[in-house]
Chain A
Amino acid sequence: MRQDRIDFVHNSERALADPTLHSSVRRAMVRFRELQRPVIGEIEEWQALREYAHRVKLHTLSHLDQYLEQLERQIVAAGGQVHWVRDGAQAGRVIADLARSRDDRTVVKSKSMTSEEIELNQVLEAAGCEVVETDLGEYLLQLAGDRPAHIIAPAVHKSKDAIAKLLAEKLGVPVYDDAERLTRVARDALRRKFLAAGVGITGVNFAVAETGTIVVVENEGNARLTTSLPRVHIALMGIEKVIPRLADLGVFLTLLPRAATGQRMSSYVSLLTGPRRAGERDGPEEFHLVIMDNGRTAIQADPVMRESLACIRCGACLDVCPVFERTVGHAYGSVYSGPIGAVITPLYQGLDVAGELPFASSLCGACGEICPVKIDLPRLLLELRARVVQAGGASWAERLFVRGWVATMARSGRLRLVAPIVRLLHRAVARTGIPLPYPFSRWTQFRELPPPARSSFRERWPFAAVGRRR
């Protein structure tokens, strides 16, 4: 499925053209950061936990076959089933077959980025299932025919008024104006679906190899309903979600909610080990874990990029990114947006399609600083830039500029020769106000040029008069 090149310059400019979108998103982001700061600050060992989590993930990613096999053994011992799939298409087929085998074809889903990645809903619908997204934000987007804009807060780009009108239109209810009433409308509508559904599909936050346990973290309760009521529970995960030991959750569940939503703990964390046991009244009769590759083994095999698979999908990097804040929506051309999206989308879709994304960053480093598993996102962005240039992806203008720059700077003698000429041109431009050609025009579109200097520092050196001690 070849994709068109993601033109982030164009997409970002289009996003910026909607100032109300930016201001409402900025409000949300500022609020996230305000919640995050104290709950992270109160954990004295936060930096040590990040380092620990990073090392656990790197170790696991470097021994992934071993841990996946252990996970499989444990799940089977607990009465569950494990399916391995190489790509999204195969995952869709396997899951559709499982769903289709039930008489009741209503499928309830709780939030799963991985399922968005493979466009699972479309596959299930084509197989004759009714698929209902049950996370409130995802449900609203489904009603609107829209796609999620943020890993954690998928409908962050929708205003309350837009939501009220949407629910009124689709569910035939009055237009309410408060969030509580709107939530209750959605809850009642979805309750009926939960009670009727034959199949529940979730993602996986963590899969513990030691015990064959999958972990689902949420606030709303819809994942618990999805894994308690339907007779079949299908959990879909990428190969990278496994962690070695149950006790490692002590660290990961300390990091995840604080980084993701500024909570000490999410409302619900479900540790699920196989289907229901004999005599239980609820819980699934069948538990299926679908383990998916879909490009991950290639990233795992890349020693530099491997750490990007440590991502626990908390969304914190999105929340601190000034670029994401201004382009939230679908500017990244991928289900994965923000800094992590700018790293993995080129890896999944290729540099020719997504090679612009790693450049769409001022490298402020806020993402790398917040990442709870210490993925060095700024460094990975830089590595990808080098790969894009090596593959011939730089424009002729850039090549000319950079090579010219480096050639001039390679010898101070050359710099002494070239600099006065450039200064002359600079003075001419400053005096006459000639509009500059591209790319310099992109500077002056938003700000003034710096004024030319009278002479350079090196021309003035040595200056004995300066700094005489009093």
Chain B
Amino acid sequence: MNAREEILTRLRATRDPSASLPDLRPPATVPGDLIALFVERATAVGIQVMKDTAHTWVASAVSELRKRSIRAAALWDDPLLSPLAAALESSGIEVISPARHTSDRLAEVAAGITTADAAIALTGTLLLPCDDRRPRSTSLLPPLHLAVLPADRIVATLGHLFQVLHTPLPSALTFITGPSRTADIELTPVMGAHGPTEVIAYVLMD
């Protein structure tokens, strides 16, 4: 018998049908303005939240990059980001498309720009999917991660998120709640461990 058979045989012998599976719990209701709650909770975990409209956010984003003297930014290939790609190019900031999001290139670039498929108000969390046009490392290797989120994608809780999640799942679904951090040195919290040191989230209000 190989290990698989051994393990399964042992487990089959000790099944206990009296231990039943509870039904899924309905998610807890969260009263009030979800956008305001998201802003509060995301800010609390160190995300810089900018509320903007579809017309104004691009100029603001360009200005944030210029403030930091950023000369190249990796962008997801997402229709929401096309106006930004154009604006960056005309500002002289190099736009790196997903085809060139190799780890070596991303490790040199100062900013990674993505969208978010959803956000959770209760915890200030962004949900990022992953595919050929939207690599996982874009929000991981560069020290600045900038995420664009239409406000109507904000849900109340994690429980609500799982209700709207589509299966089959992508190869990686990443929940991002703040910059990377550690507290391993005398439990002193430090922002910026292995992942980004800064996260900016644009919440688009229309």
Contacts and interface: CB of A to CB of B under 8 A. Distances in A.
Contact of B3 (A85, A153, A222, A250): A85
Given A63-B15, A239-B7, A195 B104 contact: yes
A271 B185 contact: no
B167 to A, nearest CB: 6
A276 interface: yes
Q: Chain B interface residue count: which class?
A: 35 or more
The interface centre, meaning the residue of B99, B101, B102, B195 with most chain A CB atoms within 10 A of its CB, is B195
Interface stretch (B60-68, B78-86, B125-133): B125-133
A293 interface: yes
Nearest to A48: B25
Given A163-B185, A220-B195, A250-B161, A268 B103 contact: no
A279 B132 contact: yes
Contacts of B141: 225
A369 to B, nearest CB: 22
A224 B122 contact: no
Contacts of A68: 7-8, 11
B2 A84 contact: yes
A183 B193 CA distance: 7
Contacts of A273: 168-173
Contacts of B158: 249-250, 253-254, 265
B122 to A, nearest CB: 7
Nearest to A86: B3
B56 interface: no
Interface in A26-43: 27-28, 31-32, 43
A297 interface: yes
A69 B8 contact: yes
Interface string A56-73: 101111111110110000
A269 B180 CA distance: 12
Contact of B6 (A86, A195, A244, A261): A86
Interface stretch (A129-137, A344-352, A460-468): A129-137
Interface in B159-200: 159, 161-163, 165, 167-188, 190, 192-196
Interface in A231-280: 239, 244-251, 253-254, 261, 263-280
A93 to B, nearest CB: 11
B172 A270 contact: yes
Contacts of B162: 246-247, 249-250
B82 to A, nearest CB: 20
B55 interface: no
Contacts of B187: 27-28, 31-32, 153, 156
A224 B174 contact: yes
Nearest to A181: B190
A140 interface: yes
Interface in B108-158: 120, 122-125, 130-132, 135-137, 140-141, 157-158
Contacts of B195: 220-221, 224-225, 267-268
A304 interface: no
B11 A135 contact: no
A219 B123 contact: no
A160 interface: yes
B139 to A, nearest CB: 9
The interface centre, meaning the residue of B122, B171, B184, B196 with most chain A CB atoms within 10 A of its CB, is B184
Contacts of A114: none
A180 B158 CA distance: 31
B11 A266 contact: no
A200 interface: no
A192 to B, nearest CB: 9
Given A44-B28, A153-B183, A269-B175, A84 B3 contact: yes
Nearest to A195: B103
B190 A179 contact: yes
B190 A283 contact: no
Nearest to A28: B187
Contact of B173 (A27, A251, A270, A275): A270
A155 interface: yes
Given A228-B136, A271-B173, A279 B125 contact: no
Contacts of A31: 187
Given A45-B28, A229-B103, A297 B22 contact: no
B2 A267 contact: no
Contacts of B123: 264-265
A182 interface: yes
Contacts of A179: 185-186, 188, 190
A180 B190 contact: yes
A187 B12 CA distance: 46
B24 A245 contact: yes
B136 A84 contact: no
A135 B184 contact: yes
A225 B19 contact: no
Interface string A70-110: 00000000100000111000100000000000000000000
Contacts of A239: 7, 11
B103 A266 contact: no
Q: Which 10 A-B pairs have the closest CB atoms?
A: A221-B195, A279-B132, A137-B184, A220-B193, A62-B16, A84-B4, A221-B194, A65-B11, A221-B180, A250-B159
11 contacts: A28-B186, A55-B21, A58-B19, A135-B184, A160-B188, A183-B182, A220-B180, A228-B137, A239-B11, A253-B158, A279-B132
